[in-house]
Amino acid sequence: MSHTLGIRQAQKQKTRQALLDAALRLLEEQSLSSLGLREVTRAVGVAPTAFYRHFRSTADLGVALVEEALGSLHAMIRTTVSPSGDSEERIDRAVKLIARHVDEHPAHVRFIARERHGGVQPVREAIGDQLARFTEEVRAELAKDPVSAGWSDEDLMMLAHLYVDQMLSTASLFLETPAEDGEERARVADLARRQLRLISLGRRHWNAE
């Protein structure tokens, strides 16, 4: 069904992507609420008015960036939490996956961390929606896991929330640690593993007393 879209729409999507890329780049050293439309178009090398052909405002562009940054992450999340293998190696796999993702998409991760509580309401809401979807997906995976089988929905959501928070916190820590400083990175990974281990421990004893 992918009808090789005409050279017209192709060009449009190309400049649209250029705008998104330039914005993401500029957002590494400022927040969305201070990002100017002219600033973005200037970086792309296009007239200011061209911006309006793609986005109503910078807030609108921000929402599009949320999709780009989080939209494709669902599959990865699910495979991370899915119960396969020993607990210890699952933890190790999860931490490595987070580190890899941060290294491959640092600007995206920074954008989400920054705008999650940022000054632009529609963007905050878009991020909140996506994170809620993540949490729900983690909850669904946890329900399958024998360790947390038969838990109440409140308990499952509590645990899912804890895992998502942990993931974001760890990603943010990796982001703040330059990739060259292998020693510090190792310390962050170690911290994350210990925390996941403690949560996993609390999980196993949750209904045992």
Under the criterion CB under 8 A, does residue 27 sit at the interface with its own copies? yes
- Binding DNA (rule: CB under 7 A), the pick from 39, 137, 155, 184 is 39
Instruction: Yes or no: say if 58 and 40 are a contact pair by the CB < 8 Å rule.
Output: yes
Under the criterion CB under 8 A, does residue 92 sit at the interface with its own copies? no
CB of 141 to DNA, least distance (A): 41
Strands (E), the chain: none
Under the criterion CB under 8 A, does residue 87 sit at the interface with its own copies? no
Contacts of 167 (CB under 8 A, 6+ apart): 94, 98
- Binding DNA (rule: CB under 7 A), the pick from 25, 30, 38, 197 is 38
Under the criterion CB under 7 A, does residue 132 sit at the interface with DNA? no
Under the criterion CB under 7 A, does residue 122 sit at the interface with DNA? no
**Which residue number, 83 or 202, has a Cβ lying nearer to its own copies?**
202
DSSP letters of 89-122? HHHHHHHHHHHHHHHH-HHHHHHHHHHTTSS-HH
Range in contact with DNA (rule: CB under 7 A) among 3-11, 84-92, 127-135, 146-154: 3-11
Residue 72 burial class via C-beta count within 10 angstroms: exposed 0-12, middle 13-18, buried 19 and up: exposed
Number of residues that bind DNA (CB under 7 A): 24
Under the criterion CB under 7 A, does residue 58 sit at the interface with DNA? yes
Distance CA 168, CA 86 (A): 23
Place of tokens 């890899």: 100
**Which residue number, 11 or 79, has a Cβ lying nearer to DNA?**
11
Contacts of 173 (CB under 8 A, 6+ apart): 188, 191, 192
Q: Which does 186 bind (CB under 5 to 8 A by kind): DNA, its own copies, none?
A: none
Under the criterion CB under 7 A, does residue 64 sit at the interface with DNA? no
